Structure 1
Amino acid sequence: MTATIHRLNPSDRAPSLDPLMALVAADMNEVNGVILDRMQSDIPLIPELAGHLIAGGGKRMRPMLTLASARLLGYEGTRHFKLSAAVEFIHTATLLHDDVVDGSALRRGRHTANIIWGNPATVLVGDFLFSRSFELMVEDGSLKVLRILSSASAVIAEGEVNQLTAQRKVDTTEDHYLEIISAKTAALFAAACRIAAVVAERPEAEETALDAYGRNLGIAFQLVDDAIDYSSDAETMGKGVGDDFRDGKVTLPVILAHARGNDEEKAFWRDAMHGHRISDEDLAYAKQLLEQTGALADTLARARHYGQRAIDALGGFANDKAKAALIEAVEFAIARAY
């Protein structure tokens, strides 16, 4: 297992998304214009509800990855603006649906749409944004782009259903869990990067490399999220501390701790994931078990491993500002846990 991320340009400053954001700032203005335009509707509730989440402080990492990948490839056209907006609409739609499924009350420190407007409106506006994303794909005119993004949308939905069926099952295997997050999280990261190579008309090998970069970054990103749910605070997470624990979400730290526990500890995890042990004291005990079994440390080690794979996937591209920004985006994803 890779222990560290091998930085392209080592420095003392903490990794951040600033280089990525600076690289694509002008392009993101174009994308934001498309997003603002296409979330409009004659039905006032639609832009009101969609705008609540879209304006809620998210970093728009996925569309930024499309833009940065296009910059890496030297693409100078404009097709990627609408496609980046399509990527963001897919992501936003899945967030709206996720919050309904999870019964979430907070996202990025704000009340979720389902808490404010209710579940039916939230699901339907999510459907509206999915539809808008497909309109943008069709307008692009590339069947290959349509195939990549539509396939990713289907895979994300499969991943969400797969996660739902595994909910509260503490005997879920690590391989099964990685399969879930590869679908529900990493598939859109991969597609967001890959479509840049399509619009830039680059060789299949570069498509595959950007797909691998996005996919491995997505897995690393989710594993870090899993870890910091137990080791961070609400301000950092943008949601309640221990939400995964109280919601009975069987994430990798829980899977590892359960597998390594004695009979009494296994019984605790079963009770906790079924909602019978969710007090603050129970959460504190869960954190203790995660530490003493090495489950948190090993989850982060796996995140670093996938992060390194993401960086390695960029090895064939020239060293420039775009590549450095994409590498630092990986380092930032990992550094959130520390």
Structure 2
Amino acid sequence: MGPRNKTGVSEFLLMEVTEDLELQPLYFILFLFIYLVTILGNLLIIMAVISDSHLHTPMYFFLYNLSFTDICLSTTMIPKMLVNIQTQNQSITYTSCLIQLCFILIFVGLENSLLAVMAYDWYAAICHPLRYTVIMSPCLCGQLILFLFISIVDALLHTLMVLQLTFCTDLEIPLFFCEVVQVIKLACSDTLINNILMYLATSIFGGVPVCGIIFSYSQIVSSVLRMPSASGKYKAFSTCGSHLSVVSLFYGTGFGVYISSALTNSSRNTAVLSMMYTVVPQMMNPFIYSLRNRDMKGALRKLIVRTPSFL
């Protein structure tokens, strides 16, 4: 007899980070370190942008929002995972799972869209330097940020559709967090509409930003190659190097997750890679922007010097 429908689902079970009890404290320390570094690094970026008037430009305005998104995305997943490791209890309530699922969709969508908007900002700065302030006006920047919040509507729609599903007795999610695709796979009821909505949303909210990034950088490369001086080319490429590194890290890890899930049957390997996709870029972004950006390094030095006077 197959599993019976269970309409009154109370909780799901997440995958254990490790089955070895001796390694659990090590993993707890590792992910706690990653979380603290992510929070501290992104908070420093936010405080530096706020405190330094020289950084009140569109580029750093978007960077400010990216750092805030990174903090929120990490906070959505890592604390729950730390609690599960500490208590050796992998359960997550039905309500908590849906809330986590919704927030992950929101912040991954925001990060994806922000990277595309930042690529457009670099395109405007390098390809149209004389018209940059006109193109990237404060009004347009505000409108772009407000438009990005359409990902909230998308996340709420997916969550409401999951609420309509009926689940079976097998409620084990093969990841360390609640992810919409894996939750839908556990349903006993018809998931055709959910899957159609998922593919449609992925095409729009994933495909459009990627196409925007490719278009922006194709125009940037074309414009830079037409520059007569080698020093001008180097300066132009180095200025957008930080953003290109972040884009490569974000989409590179995401592509790695997709390839690994297609080539391997190991759910644990896929789970680890999925965690890296949603944790590592958020931790590395502050280092990439601070180490490769002279203005940001200067703002951080000023912030660190001023901090003792506030204490």
State the TM-score, normalizing by the size of structure 1. Answer: 0.28
State the TM-score, normalizing by the size of structure 2. Answer: 0.30
Bigger relative CO (Cα 8 Å, ≥ 6 apart): 2
Relative to its length, the structure with more helix (as a share) is 2
